[in-house]
Amino acid sequence: MNRPYNFSAGPAAIPEEVLQQAAAEMLDWHGSGMGVMEMSHRGKEFIAIYEQAEADLRELLAIPPGFRILFMQGGGIAENAIVPLNLSRAATVDFVVTGSWSQKSRKEAQKYAAEVRTAASSEEGGFTTLPDPATWQLSRGASYVHVCSNETIHGIEFQELPDLRALGCDAPLVVDFSSHVASRPVDWSRVGLAFGGAQKNIGPAGLTLGVVREDLLGHALPICPSAFDYKIVADNQSMYNTPPTWGVYMAGLTFQWLKRQREGDATGVAAMERRNIAKAKLFYDYIDGSQFYVNKVAANCRSRMNVPFFLRDESRNEAFLAGAKERGLLQLKGHKSVGGMRASLYNAMPLAGVQALVDYMRDFERTCA
């Protein structure tokens, strides 16, 4: 079966091998007589799934021992509240606003922190650049500094996480890495907390990852619900309430798939980074060489995962989308707040899929000439 190429920004494509394995195990997981969705989350079968998924994620992302991995629910939107409930200490928090998602995070934090400050913003330029860290106005004594390391809607990505210590700030860095988790390595020496919804790069909607430094546990506000208190979740191995068992299982299969990936001498996330660099280069090089399409993001902060682009003649948008669908190229319509088109090139998207999209775009441009 030749499946179409799905460029959805999320929920997004899942590796076909993972889907096939999940289908094969749907009615009977490893001879247990149960599907994963039917298991007790406290039974030995699911505990084995959970422990393997946690171990594989720690290995893939090279997460140091001083960090706890949390499998939660609610997506990135819920984390916008859960983070300040746990880390704000009802004091000042700083935000670097680089697109729609960091805007949403800042707005939600205003409900729980005593003061929410914008340390830097690229809104004036239409979120097409990243503010230089040297210009950030960081608060003395802030409880944390929040960044969204990859803005799914605007197609902005930090190519390197900011070094707050080098900027004279000792606050922990909070990173929303929802849309590029496991696509590139993480420098954990610069991170206090990283969180992300699974539905873009590591599995289905319903699972949220949290990776939190141990010294940041135990500071939740009194109003924080127990199920969202990071320390309680960590102390109970993400089993304080019933976790999203199917999401954990699917993420675990995806982690195993990631571990099997090879690019030259690189494996796992390092291999995926090489592959993602190649995919992004192919796509951006074509757009930049075209007079028919345009990407407006500065070259030094373009996302490898999410590429918004526009037809210079936007009256052709509907014809472009219809033709793409006929060629088996799905979910290319841009976000409603931005318009145009968007191609998401997550880990599950092969280089062949990007080449197929480039070939179609070239053909469409030719027919419109």
**pLDDT value of position 2:** 83
Cite the DSSP H helix spans in the chain: 16-24, 44-60, 75-87, 100-109, 230-235, 245-260, 268-288, 317-326, 351-368
Calculate what percentage of the chain has a pLDDT beyond 90. 93
**pLDDT value of position 26:** 96
- Indicate the residue type of 172: P
- Angle made by CA atoms 97, 138, 72, in degrees to the nearest 5: 55
- Indicate the residue type of 206: G
Per-residue pLDDT of 124-167, as tens digits, reads 888 999 999 999 999 999 999 999 999 999 999 999 999 999 99
Give me the mean pLDDT over the 344-348 stretch.
97
**pLDDT value of position 90:** 87
**pLDDT value of position 352:** 97
What residue ranges define each of the domains in the chain, with the CATH number in brackets? Answer: 17-258 (3.40.640.10), 265-368 (3.90.1150.10)
**pLDDT value of position 125:** 84
The answer to whether 293 touches 313, Cβ cutoff 8 Å, is: no
pLDDT category at 105 given cuts 50, 70, 90 is confident
Q: Please say if the pLDDT value at position 329 is more than 80.
A: yes
- DSSP code at position 344: E
Give me the mean pLDDT over the 85-94 stretch.
94
Which phi and psi (to 5°) does residue 20 adopt? -65, -40
Q: Please say if the pLDDT value at position 1 is more than 70.
A: no
User: Which residue has 């669908």 as its token pair?
Assistant: 325
Catalytic residue positions, numbered = 101, 176, 200
Q: Please say if the pLDDT value at position 101 is more than 90.
A: no
Which phi and psi (to 5°) does residue 221 adopt? -65, 155
3-state helix, strand, coil in the chain (%, to 5): 40, 15, 45
Q: Please say if the pLDDT value at position 239 is more than 90.
A: yes
**pLDDT value of position 36:** 96
User: DSSP 3-state assignment of 302?
Assistant: strand
Q: What is the CA radius of gyration of the chain?
A: 21
Bond into 11 cis (ω within 30): yes
More confident residue, 286 or 123: 286
Q: Across all residues in the chain, what is the average pLDDT?
A: 95
Cite the DSSP H helix spans in 25-110: 44-60, 75-87, 100-109
Per-residue pLDDT of 313-324, as tens digits, reads 999 999 999 999
pLDDT category at 100 given cuts 50, 70, 90 is confident
Give me the mean pLDDT over the 24-49 stretch.
95
The set of residues, in sequence order, having a beta carbon less than 8 Å from that of 40 and lying 6+ positions away, is: 46
